[in-house]
A and B are shown apart, each in its own frame.
Chain A
């Protein structure tokens, strides 16, 4: 199953602006895989949204789901 991940803010310094992953079934699985690919991501704070809805707990992914990783911004 292919999933597109779009990344925001300063997390893009670690991952670039988008990543495609195969064989991820749920969001916990996705975060683990991303942490392996990009170890710098592991201790960063961000929220996870699936198909434009923020999720609070592990969520199943569908074929062609788009997942967003969004860190908090504080600048003004």
Chain B
């Protein structure tokens, strides 16, 4: 806090008993990495930036889509199709130019995770899939970094602080709750289940609150606790967690072992090798002997009239699969999730005898690019 300007900016929280200039100084010196600049990441980033966390990293390889805007409050319609990490950084820098923001426009993988995480004091997991969550958990255990975890499902959200070392108890990590990632069918499919926009707002700001308390040392944090919030009933339920010896063996022993793990496969999420981008999709549309299949359910909007296709809803694919005679098959859906499942299903039946593709990002992405090109 060298200037009167920053004193004025943070004045209202410096006034707080227990926080003071010392608390502000701790925030300014802190380095926080936010993984996922989506529904949880946006509000967390916004408040951490406003509060004056000195160094913030943002990891996200996605681009803004119209369907993000009801919950990902850093973005506007003008940002559709642009990088989330870069757009977030621009908005946040305007909010607080005095802090340093680093963007990582890439997917977090076992190859880059430890290097990125090691540059920060505390990690915030705002991702939206089990593969990333288990990978981030294991990386934080390996590198000894505290992890502020948050997740949502329909109208409920969870917050916890993992891997925070203190004198009272052994640090707990996500594998002490759920040792192994869920397999197919063990968790109801939530890919298209929907979310009330305000819910990640509430959970994301709670994650920022936990982060600020951990950095400044004020109050009681959710260390080794799991808080569940129900937005419909305004109910909060907090569980006490304890570490289990047997889960330790599930964490990779070292960096080399970590890099060998295929988290996508562990979490039974379909392989991403089927995925093609919009450019490739446009090229393949022109090929002969290629089936283009919409796997959305009957009557789902928007109606597509820009290219020819047949429709087989994902729910009917298994029974109708043998009717597909073409040697190459491109699946698409609204966001690219169901089409990826469809690609995996077809691959399970036909193996390498058919070329299988899934349009990454689905119609949302196709429309983004298509609109941009035609402007």
- Give the B-binding residues of A (Cβ under 8 A): 6, 8-10, 13, 17, 43-45, 47, 49, 52-54, 56, 68, 70-76
Chain A residues lying within 8 Å of B244, measured Cβ to Cβ, are: 56
Is B304 in contact with chain A by the CB < 8 A criterion? Answer: no
Is B240's CB under 8 angstroms from A52's CB? yes
Is B195 in contact with chain A by the CB < 8 A criterion? Answer: yes
Of the candidates B41, B127, B152, B153, the one having the most CB atoms from chain A within 10 angstroms of its own CB is B153
* Chain B residues bordering chain A, tally (CB within 8 A): 43
Closest CB in chain A relative to B192 CB, distance in Å: 11
Chain A residues lying within 8 Å of B187, measured Cβ to Cβ, are: 10, 44-45, 71-72, 74
CA A17 to CA B129, docked complex, whole Å: 24
**B41-69 to A contact mask, C-beta < 8 Å, 1/0:** 10000000000000000000000000000
Instruction: Among A49, A53, A74, point to the contact of B128 (Cβ < 8 A).
Output: A74
Is A43's CB under 8 angstroms from B185's CB? yes
Is B36's CB under 8 angstroms from A76's CB? yes
A54-B177, A76-B126 are contacts. A10–B188 as well, Cβ < 8 Å? yes
Is A75's CB under 8 angstroms from B240's CB? no
151-208 of chain B: CB within 8 A of chain A: 151-154, 156-158, 176-178, 182-183, 185-188, 190, 193, 195, 200
Is B241 in contact with chain A by the CB < 8 A criterion? Answer: yes
Instruction: Among B157, B186, B233, point to the contact of A73 (Cβ < 8 A).
Output: B157
Instruction: Among B36, B126, B128, B240, point to the contact of A54 (Cβ < 8 A).
Output: B240
CA A8 to CA B187, docked complex, whole Å: 12
Is B228's CB under 8 angstroms from A8's CB? yes
Q: Which residue of chain B is the closest to A17 with respect to CB atoms?
A: B233
CA A45 to CA B40, docked complex, whole Å: 24
Is A9's CB under 8 angstroms from B127's CB? no
CA A73 to CA B155, docked complex, whole Å: 11
Is B190's CB under 8 angstroms from A75's CB? yes
Is B318 in contact with chain A by the CB < 8 A criterion? Answer: no
6 additional contacts, CB 8 Å, given A73-B151, A75-B193? A43-B186, A45-B183, A45-B186, A70-B228, A70-B239, A76-B127
Is A10's CB under 8 angstroms from B239's CB? no
CA A52 to CA B157, docked complex, whole Å: 17
Closest CB in chain B relative to A11 CB, distance in Å: 8
Is B151's CB under 8 angstroms from A76's CB? yes
Chain B residues lying within 8 Å of A44, measured Cβ to Cβ, are: 186-188
CA A43 to CA B242, docked complex, whole Å: 25
Is A9's CB under 8 angstroms from B156's CB? yes
Is A49's CB under 8 angstroms from B188's CB? no
Q: List 20 A-B contacts (CB under 8 A).
A: A8-B237, A9-B153, A44-B186, A45-B187, A47-B177, A52-B237, A53-B240, A53-B242, A54-B240, A54-B242, A70-B239, A73-B152, A73-B156, A73-B158, A74-B128, A74-B190, A75-B128, A75-B153, A75-B193, A76-B127
Is B237's CB under 8 angstroms from A10's CB? no
A72-B178, A75-B190, A75-B195 are contacts. A10–B242 as well, Cβ < 8 Å? no
Is B133 in contact with chain A by the CB < 8 A criterion? Answer: yes
CA A52 to CA B199, docked complex, whole Å: 23
A53-B240, A54-B239 are contacts. A74–B178 as well, Cβ < 8 Å? no
